[in-house]
């Protein structure tokens, strides 16, 4: 549902006021996202109708609502945790970096404009007004449907150079009358100074919203930390409401940071290399692979790092042209082409699929000033960039048989977030899927004659459990390894269980009684 349709929204009779709770942090990546997700599940389990809310995300990971609106992927995770239907009101503003000082502004789920960092944070009063209106309308809509709104802040509320333009933290807290819990990552060090310093840099009216502190990623014996908690109480007059231990096996997405390390699951027998574009987007596409045994996943940037893997994945990109140029400049393009000729399976997703074609055509300079650019030539397709953006959830069926799709009419689901139209230019390669759209069904994706080089616009491909297992078993068969013997895991069930386990873990270390008291006092 978009803000544009709020005037047609049916009236909901409410029996009591909406409650609010806000999670802010002493900085980025202190754990706001996953703590918010835990609280969404904790209170959903208590029988409340809960919605997450983040006024503005800055991320290259995004997701699509049922009505085709684009929101941050972390907000989608929190909606799952809340057992709530994802809507654009939960994240009305999304910024997707596409250059060093430029980002695409997604407003109410739709592309609005490309904005510079200066315009975003300096003297564009009209843009600030537009964004604040979207935030207010979204909160008003959510308050009609939900009993509790758990709000996630962004970065730190104490960035003095950006305070005038910060609509995401204290501006929202004051608008809602929300109690704020301030989170810090103790594993980084300096957490006491960060908490005290953050509080000191807020105005008195803003300080009044801070009700308590949460330490995240604690290691060691908490008894040794008790004097610090007592000091903090005496210094600030505010309680510590949670000391959450470090949990190394947490597999939920933390914030929007790229997992740049190599990931192992058991003794690695299969090596998958993922090309780490500078503007890599939706790397969450590969989360489902992590649950499969005997697998190593590597993010690579150079030919030396790439080596000779068992498969290569070209992921999505927010700036396909610049990332393709970097592939050519680094020598990765030539190395990938050589490996493809030697029979190494290659999968391209979204922007990665576009790069695998013969040519990127951009006559109107929508994507960049480059114009036309030669692709990798692995698939007989060309992509032409046009105005507009395709954002939708997709159901389709397979139409091309290959080792990865041995049967026709196999159901595959996913979602699309891309600019440009990709089309086949020869009969040598074939489309993979036919969408099941009720209005305009069409063929999409491409696979070569070997069946081992393929591309698709579909994000979420590996969430299709049968396809994911077949993909890995094909790689194992090529190395004369036996198929995976463990039962097929259903990723969506696995993810939900991870949320449930994380919520139970966090709940054990929070003073929920005090938190509920503060929530009840919210305006």
> Which residues are tagged catalytic?
350, 459
Residues 6+ apart with CB under 8 A from 86: 63, 65, 66, 71, 75, 76, 79, 80
Q: Are strands 433-435 and 390-398 parallel, antiparallel or unpaired?
A: antiparallel
The pair of structure tokens assigned to 154 is 């962004």
Closest Cα to residue 356, out of 390, 332, 329?
332
Cα distance between residue 243 and residue 222, in whole Å: 8
Closest Cα to residue 72, out of 300, 199, 255?
255
3-state secondary structure (DSSP) of residue 451: coil
Closest Cα to residue 181, out of 16, 81, 15, 42?
42
Residues 6+ apart with CB under 8 A from 209: 22, 170, 173, 174, 178, 179, 180
The pair of structure tokens assigned to 171 is 């501006």
Angle, CA 375 vertex, CA 369 and CA 381 arms, to 5°: 110
Residues 6+ apart with CB under 8 A from 420: 320, 354, 360, 367, 383, 384, 385, 386
The pair of structure tokens assigned to 441 is 């069904």
Closest Cα to residue 244, out of 507, 516, 27?
507
- The answer to whether the beta carbons of residues 142 and 149 sit under 8 Å apart is yes
- The answer to whether the beta carbons of residues 339 and 406 sit under 8 Å apart is no
**DSSP structure class, residue 268:** -
3-state helix, strand, coil in the chain (%, to 5): 35, 25, 40
Cα distance between residue 253 and residue 33, in whole Å: 8
The residues pairing with 273 across neighbouring beta strands, listed in sequence order, are: 298, 312
- The answer to whether the beta carbons of residues 148 and 50 sit under 8 Å apart is yes
Burial letters for 340-362: b for 16+ Cβ neighbours within 10 Å, e otherwise? beeebbbbbbbbbbbbbbbbbbb
Closest Cα to residue 55, out of 116, 118, 134?
134
Cα distance between residue 461 and residue 396, in whole Å: 11
């Amino acid at each position: 549902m978009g803000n544009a349709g709020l005037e047609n929204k049916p009236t909901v009779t409410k029996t009591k006021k909406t409650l609010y709770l806000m999670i802010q942090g002493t900085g980025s990546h202190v754990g706001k996202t996953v703590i918010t997700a835990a609280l969404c599940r904790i209170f959903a389990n208590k029988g409340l109708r809960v919605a997450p809310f983040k006024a503005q995300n800055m991320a290259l990971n995004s997701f699509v609502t049922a009505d085709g609106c684009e929101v941050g992927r972390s907000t989608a995770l929190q909606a799952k945790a809340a057992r709530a239907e994802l809507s654009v009101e939960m994240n009305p503003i999304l910024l997707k970096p596409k250059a060093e000082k430029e980002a695409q502004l997604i407003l109410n789920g739709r592309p609005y404009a490309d904005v510079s960092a200066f315009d975003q944070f300096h003297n564009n009063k009209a843009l600030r007004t537009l964004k604040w209106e979207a935030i207010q309308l979204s909160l008003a809509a959510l308050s009609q449907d939900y009993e509790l709104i758990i709000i996630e802040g962004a970065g730190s509320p104490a960035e003095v150079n950006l305070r005038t333009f910060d609509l995401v933290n204290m501006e929202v807290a004051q608008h809602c009358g929300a109690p704020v819990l301030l989170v810090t990552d103790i594993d980084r060090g300096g957490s006491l100074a960060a908490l005290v310093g953050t509080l000191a840099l807020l105005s008195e009216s803003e300080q009044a919203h801070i009700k308590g502190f949460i330490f995240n990623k604690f290691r060691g014996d908490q008894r040794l930390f008790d004097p610090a908690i007592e000091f903090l109480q005496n210094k600030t007059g505010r309680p510590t409401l949670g000391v959450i231990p470090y949990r190394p096996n947490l597999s939920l997405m933390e914030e929007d940071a790229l997992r740049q390390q190599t990931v192992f699951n058991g003794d690695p027998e299969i090596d998958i290399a993922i090309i780490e574009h500078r503007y890599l987007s939706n790397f969450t596409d590969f989360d489902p692979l992590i649950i499969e045994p005997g697998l190593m996943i590597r993010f690579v940037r150079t030919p030396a790092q790439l080596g000779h893997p068992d498969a290569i994945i070209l992921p999505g990109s927010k700036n396909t042209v610049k990332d393709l140029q970097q592939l050519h400049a680094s020598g990765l393009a030539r190395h990938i082409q050589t490996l493809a000729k030697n029979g190494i399976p290659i999968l391209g997703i979204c922007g990665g699929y576009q790069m695998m074609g013969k040519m990127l055509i951009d006559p109107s300079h929508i994507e960049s000033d480059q114009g036309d650019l030669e692709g990798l030539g692995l698939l007989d397709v060309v992509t032409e960039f046009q105005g507009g953006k395709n954002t939708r959830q997709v159901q389709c069926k397979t139409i091309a048989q290959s080792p990865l799709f041995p049967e026709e009419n196999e159901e595959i689901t996913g979602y699309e977030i891309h600019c440009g139209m990709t089309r086949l230019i020869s009969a040598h390669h074939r489309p993979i899927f036919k969408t099941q759209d009720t209005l305009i069904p069409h063929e999409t994706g491409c696979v070569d004659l070997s069946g081992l080089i393929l591309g698709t616009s579909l994000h979420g491909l590996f969430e299709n459990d049968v396809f994911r297992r077949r993909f890995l078993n094909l790689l194992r068969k090529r190395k004369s390894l036996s198929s995976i013997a463990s039962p097929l895991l259903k990723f969506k069930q696995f993810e939900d269980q991870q949320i449930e386990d994380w919520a139970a873990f966090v709940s054990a270390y929070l003073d929920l009684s005090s938190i509920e008291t503060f929530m009840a006092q919210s305006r």
